[in-house]
Amino acid sequence: MCLVSIGEFARRSRLSPKALRLYDELGLLRPARVDPDSGYRFYAPGQLDQARLVASLRQIGVPLAHIRVVLGLGPGDAAAYIRAYWTAVEDEHLARRELAGYLMNTSNETRSVMYEVATRKITARRVLCLLRHVDGEAGAFALGKDFVARFRDATVPRLDGIAGAAFVIYYGQVNDDSDGPIEWCRPVPDDRADEIAAKFPSLTLRTEPAHEEAFVQLGQAEITATQWQVVYETLRNWGDEHHREPASLGVRVTFLARPPMTADSRPECDFAVPLR
């Protein structure tokens, strides 16, 4: 096998030696051989396609964790993954543009409502809850996954319709600077609430009072934190225009799963603010 030095491979791939050493340490792009005495790295010309793919993905801002996934996929699956990733990036960019537009309008003392807002009444109900501070969006996703998984092995009856849907309350922003907290909630029937709660000692059972809430229906789309902020500002502006105050600082995302459920099913979600 004809190997080339790290310097030559860097020149051909347009990746710096520093980047190549980092990708080796992360297991993304291992050299074909490492000299046992000097530790010097050598690469095979056949690794150039993979190196150029890594370089191109980094050029468009794909995080290393996503690149690791792409490198483990076949050509067709890799293309589908990149397409899905870039669609999410464009959606996030659009949401940032909407939020920037809202902020500019606010600076000009112009109010804007960017989504259609409706209201609904929620009856009093008992809910099982899990309140935690979380480490960014990944931590919020992990907590939600853990909460939902707790009910898969137990037969827990559901309330009908939106009143029985699981929801998560954001008491603060979740990002690199803020850790919430957030609270996942699962409504349970009043007459069996104590019995069900006994099966989940790590969860808190509380009563949520009847209330009216303003909400925005978001469908089955995957909503980013930026888009949620846009929706929240829409609800806040709607409340100001209709002289309705929020009942609490917490805002919530409700997830409603409609049958028939399949492996590809995704719940409908909406973003709501309880009203006084």
Taking residues 58-87, report their average pLDDT.
88
In the chain, what percentage of residues exceed pLDDT 90? 28
In a domain, 109, yes or no: no
User: How would residue 217 be classed by pLDDT, with cut points 50, 70 and 90?
Assistant: confident
Residue 24 is part of a domain; what is its CATH number?
A: 1.10.1660.10
What is residue 100's predicted lDDT score, i.e. its pLDDT?
Answer: 73
Query: Helix axis angle, 225-241 relative to 75-107, nearest 10°?
Result: 30
Residue 152 domain flag: yes
Q: Does residue 4 or residue 94 have the better pLDDT? A: 4
261 and 124 fall within a common domain? yes
Closest CA to 215 of 190, 235, 239: 235
pLDDT at 18 over 80: yes
Q: Euclidean distance between the first and final Cα of the chain, in Å?
A: 74
Within a domain: 129: yes
Find how far residue 93's CA is from the centre of its chain. Answer: 15
Q: What angle do CA 114, 116, 119 make, to 5 degrees?
A: 130
Q: Do 264 and 148 have their domain in common? A: yes
Q: What is the pLDDT of residues 240-274, one digit of tens each?
A: 888 988 887 688 888 887 665 555 667 788 889 99
Task: Report the distance separating Cα 66 and Cα 53, nearest Å.
Answer: 12
Domain range for 135: 118-275
- The answer to whether residues 68 and 180 belong to one domain is no
Q: Is 173 part of any domain? A: yes
Residue 177 domain flag: yes
In the predicted structure, residue 227 carries a pLDDT above the cut 90: no
What pLDDT score does 247 carry?
A: 83
Same domain, 35 and 151: no
Q: What's residue 257's pLDDT?
A: 73
- Give whole-number Cα distances, 118 to 49, 71, 161, 212, 215, in Å: 52, 45, 17, 11, 6
Same-domain check for residues 143 and 230: yes
For residue 87, is pLDDT > 60? yes
pLDDT of residue 140: 87
Q: Are residues 124 and 256 in the same domain?
A: yes
Q: Are residues 60 and 173 in the same domain?
A: no
Same domain, 127 and 189: yes
Distance from C-alpha of 252 to C-alpha of 169, rounded to nearest angstrom: 4
| Domain shared by 158 and 263, yes or no | yes
> Do 167 and 240 lie in a common domain?
yes
Whether 66 and 131 share a structural domain: no
Residues 147 and 68 in one domain: no
**What is the number of structural domains in the chain?**
2
d(CA 233, CA 216): 11
Tens-place pLDDT, residues 27-63: 888 999 998 888 899 999 889 988 988 888 888 888 8
Mean of the per-residue pLDDT values for the chain? 84
> What is the pLDDT, as a whole number, of residue 124?
93
Write down the pLDDT at residue 260.
59
What is the pLDDT at residue 106? 61
Task: Specify the CATH number for the domain of residue 140.
Answer: 3.20.80.10
| 76 vs 153, more confident | 76
249 vs 141: which has the higher pLDDT: 141
For residue 115, what is the DSSP state?
S
